[in-house]
Amino acid sequence: MALLKILQYPDERLHTVADRVSEVTDETRALVQDMAETMYAAPGIGLAATQVDVHQRVIVVDISNTHSQLHVLINPEITARSGESDCEEGCLSVPGIFGKVQRAERITVEAWDRDGRPFVLDADGLLAVCIQHEMDHLVGKVFVEYWSQMKQSRIRTRLKKQMRR
């Protein structure tokens, strides 16, 4: 197991569109394990492979306080969405920045598990929001990009100053 380096916004690699996983291998399972360990250590509740500079459609999510409900979604696709949620979000790639993003309140997602078996997950509330947030990373979108250009510019400036310190 290894802790992976999490890319920090505005790193351009965060805008890379992830490739579909053609087959779940031991390497894929090792990536999932390393991503989960990295997410828990950060600490966070979700992590996309894109955030650790691996451009494959893999996400891990665990919204439990006990780190006991790890969801592994490989090649996730949202097949249904309903309702609206204005949830305060943060991101391991944008440390210290929080803000509201409008997302679906409920989703149905189809994916593969860590063994390559297909499954369907119905999610709502925080789990639904977190999955949508992580899936954005897979298409090269960071949550702050839902906000105005002016606000994004201020965030980039603030994060660059933090990196120089």
Q: Which residues are known to be catalytic?
A: 134
From residue 60, how far is each of 117, 156, 159, 161 by CA, in Å?
16, 26, 25, 30
Q: Residue 54 and residue 16: Cα distance in Å, rounded?
A: 10
Q: With contact defined as beta carbons under 8 Å apart, do 4 and 154 qualify?
A: no
C-alpha dihedral sign at 117, 13, 137, 88:
positive
Q: With contact defined as beta carbons under 8 Å apart, do 50 and 16 qualify?
A: yes
